[in-house]
Amino acid sequence: MLTSSTMQDTPGAEANDFKRDQASLLQELTTESQNEASQGFDTKSALEIARIINHEDVKVPVAVKKAIPEIAQVIDQVARSLRDGGRLIYIGAGSSGRIAALDSSECPPTYSSAPGQVQYIMAGGPKALASAVEVNEDSEELGQRDIARRRPTRKDVVVGVSASGRTPYVVAAVAYARARGAHTAAVTCNHDTPLAAAADIAIIADVGPEVVSGSTRMKAGSAQKMILNMITTGAMTRLGYVYENLMVNVHMQNSKLVERGIRILMKACKIDRETAVQTIKSAGRSVPVALVMLKARVDKPEAVRRLAKSDGNVRLAIEDNVLEL
């Protein structure tokens, strides 16, 4: 594959051939095909437009369901890597990069994970989150440079997110990380792509053509969001940061999250509000510590010790003692 810098040095005829090859490749992608269900879309009423989009969106979870075995593999690998002190690093461009950034940024407030545990790399940098800097996604060199700055190792999982599966920036970054021993995965919406070939595991959600041809922020974007949700939720749950189906590792930094923490403790321990509030206060505003204190009938130092021993796994910390409520 030619890099952007190589292409600049290519004679005119060869450069034109390269452009034609790229155009041909795009036409073959399912995500770039024209959708028969939305023919005459610009002539439809608002109600018809909404119905067409909704009808197509129904296909998203069906496509994601077919990729569950591969998603599960990535969940387990991410959990192992985070447990061993590694990182989950997403890399993407355009809409895919913005979805990766969203999933990464929501892990600390949801699971109290360290900011560096789940990271994202966006083609064009943070400014590309708000403003299109799409030219960067054509550069293999920039993709390699940006992932190299994170120094990926065998402890890390690097996930390339690209609806087309052919974004040079993302493909090059994933290939670089894999060559240095990192575990790699691809999240894409087309089959037989360079990104899938570059990664250890390929998660493919074939959602079909978009309602607006090539607008992969739509079905493809929804599928990617669902998959990334599954990866981080699954990994954090495997690590024990969820108890039953409760967000017990919630980071109580504002009034809404404080209230959520209180309600979680009330539900998990079947106690009244006053008891929950007092226990959280005595636990240093930590729901996991409060939960272990109540469930295992221990004091704060013992609850803290158990959580440290279990690497933050709440259920294991509770079950360290046979006494249960």
List the catalytic residues: 106, 137
Cα 298 to the center of its chain, rounded Å: 36
DSSP label of 283: T
Phi, psi (degrees; rounded to nearest 5) at 195: -65, -45
At 17, list the tokens: 């051939």
Closest C-alpha to 70, from 222, 184, 198, 240: 184
Contact 10, 18 (CB under 8 A): yes
At 123, list the tokens: 């083609």
Q: How far apart are CA 277 and CA 186, in angstroms?
A: 44
Which residues are within 8 A (CB) of 189 and not within 5 positions of it... i.e. 6 or more apart? 30, 31, 63, 163, 164, 165, 204, 205, 206, 207, 216, 219, 220, 223, 224
Q: Is 318 helix (H, G, I), strand (E, B) or coil?
A: helix
What's the burial of 280, exposed, middle or buried (CB within 10 Å: 0-12/13-18/19+)? buried
DSSP label of 286: -
Closest C-alpha to 280, from 272, 288, 268: 288
Contact 296, 304 (CB under 8 A): no
Which residue's structure tokens are 């039953």? 244
Strand pairing class (183-188; 157-161)? parallel
Closest C-alpha to 189, from 213, 218, 224: 224
Element at 186 (helix H, strand E): strand 183-188
